[in-house]
């Protein structure tokens, strides 16, 4: 009799576990479905917002600025710490002014990026001005290029402008987003005018492919890297790590290295100007990390001239400089200041 009861108890326990398992699967499925539905709704809404007039888009930006920074206080501590450490000589009033202008710039970037999801080619050309004749010269010389930039101006506009206005084949290096719907939305945005989007991990494989015309690799290189492999230098008064992959790419494929700055046009929201500098046309003849050091020198000068026009909300200095650096992580030759 005991055996029968134990058997019944075991069966009951197994049935209970099976029920809980099925219930768990159903809950997960509903959550996934809800996330997918919400994502579809949100990105459908973004596509509708992209058809707003520029005037109404910037009204939306003003509201976002008030709510994101004034009410929520998005990354206020990070922004203020970054500014204080980067400009120790500035007064509190000056830092507050930069912070305020950055907050406006940040939400402008959001609505501008949404607008560019449906903006015409003429609109893209109008919103970003500057002398790009050097790109035509390199194209006619059949020169392949790596085109470096920082997170200044609107880098989504810069990507669209590059694929639309450069004669080179445009290869944009990016980091895939974890959310598939977000990743697809940005993929659709960035490839509107024919750019080839390549994850950073696949760039070497991509550049080995045969091509019918010269190419330009577009890459933002001012994010926070792995501290154990980064090149370390002084940037904005702080020890700063830099991705070394740029030099590896440039040397392996002998790419001319250009740097582009995107400044905001004064008193014209949503308008930018590009200035292109040649860092080197012979990367294989340059000492290790000199390309990176030159890029940071130019970027630092540009930030000092228009300090609110950079991504201060990014945790750029979250990694600390290791005590013992390998030789390849340092600069053997100190460059003169620009």
- For the stretch 20-61, pLDDT in tens is 556 556 555 444 445 555 666 677 778 888 899 999 999 999
Please report the pLDDT score of residue 36 as a whole number. 52
Least confident interval from 1-15, 51-65, 68-82, 203-217:
1-15
Cα separation, 126 vs 145, in Å, equals 24
Q: What's the whole-number average pLDDT of the chain?
A: 89
Cα separation, 138 vs 144, in Å, equals 8
Close Cβ partners of 140 (under 8 Å, ≥ 6 residues apart): none
The helix/strand/coil state of 136 is helix
For residues 86-98, average pLDDT: 98
- Supply 190's token pair: 């960035």
Taking CB atoms within 8 Å and a gap of at least 24, the contacts of 98-102 are 98/307, 98/308, 99/308, 99/312, 101/308, 102/308, 102/309, 102/310, 102/312, 102/313
Whole-angstrom CA distances from 133 to 128, 130, 274, 300 are 14, 9, 12, 25
**Cβ proximity of 294 and 335 under 8 Å:** yes
| Cα angle, residue 89 at apex, residues 88 and 90 outer, rounded to 5° | 95
Please report the pLDDT score of residue 17 as a whole number. 58
Please report the pLDDT score of residue 1 as a whole number. 47
Cα separation, 296 vs 316, in Å, equals 13
Whole-angstrom CA distances from 189 to 96, 194, 223, 300 are 34, 10, 21, 29
- For 153, phi then psi, to 5°, come to 65, -150
**Cβ proximity of 257 and 146 under 8 Å:** yes
Nearest CA-CA partner of 139 in 20, 4, 258: 258
Q: How many CA atoms lie within 13 A of 217 on its CB side?
A: 26
The counts of H helices and E strands in the chain are 11, 9
The helix/strand/coil state of 217 is strand
- For 330, phi then psi, to 5°, come to -125, 175
Please report the pLDDT score of residue 7 as a whole number. 58
Please report the pLDDT score of residue 10 as a whole number. 56
Please report the pLDDT score of residue 227 as a whole number. 92
- For 105, phi then psi, to 5°, come to -60, -40
**Cβ proximity of 273 and 265 under 8 Å:** yes
Using one digit for the tens of pLDDT, what is the confidence trace for 311-327?
999 999 999 999 999 88
């Amino acid at each position: 009799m005991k055996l029968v009861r134990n058997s019944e108890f075991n069966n009951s326990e197994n049935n209970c576990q099976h029920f809980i398992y099925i219930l768990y699967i159903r809950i997960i499925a509903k959550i996934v479905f809800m996330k997918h539905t919400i994502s579809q709704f949100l990105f459908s809404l973004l596509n509708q917002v992209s058809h707003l007039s520029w005037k109404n888009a910037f009204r939306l930006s003003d509201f976002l600025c008030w709510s994101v920074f004034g009410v929520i206080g998005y990354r206020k501590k990070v922004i203020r710490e970054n500014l204080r450490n980067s400009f120790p000589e500035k007064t509190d009033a000056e830092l507050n002014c930069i912070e305020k202008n950055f907050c406006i710039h940040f939400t402008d970037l959001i609505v501008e990026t949404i607008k560019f999801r449906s903006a015409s080619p003429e609109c893209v050309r109008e919103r970003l001005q500057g002398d790009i004749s050097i790109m035509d010269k390199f194209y006619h010389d059949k020169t392949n290029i790596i085109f470096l930039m920082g997170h200044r101006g609107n880098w989504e506009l810069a990507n669209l402008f590059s694929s639309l206005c450069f004669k080179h084949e445009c290869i944009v290096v990016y980091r895939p987003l974890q959310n598939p719907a977000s990743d697809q939305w940005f993929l659709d945005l960035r490839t509107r005018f024919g750019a080839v989007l390549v994850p950073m991990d696949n760039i070497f494989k991509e550049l080995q492919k045969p091509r019918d015309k010269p190419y330009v690799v577009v890459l933002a290189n001012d994010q926070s890297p792995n501290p154990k492999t980064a090149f370390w230098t002084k940037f904005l008064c702080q020890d700063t790590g830099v991705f070394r992959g740029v030099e590896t790419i440039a040397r392996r494929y002998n790419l001319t290295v250009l740097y582009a700055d995107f400044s905001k046009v004064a008193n014209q929201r949503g308008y930018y100007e590009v200035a292109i500098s040649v860092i080197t046309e012979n990367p294989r003849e340059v000492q290790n990390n000199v390309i990176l050091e030159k890029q940071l020198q130019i970027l630092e000068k540009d930030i000092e001239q228009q300090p609110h026009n950079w991504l201060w909300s990014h945790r750029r200095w979250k990694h600390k400089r290791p005590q013992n650096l390998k030789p390849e992580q340092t600069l053997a030759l100190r460059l003169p200041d620009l």
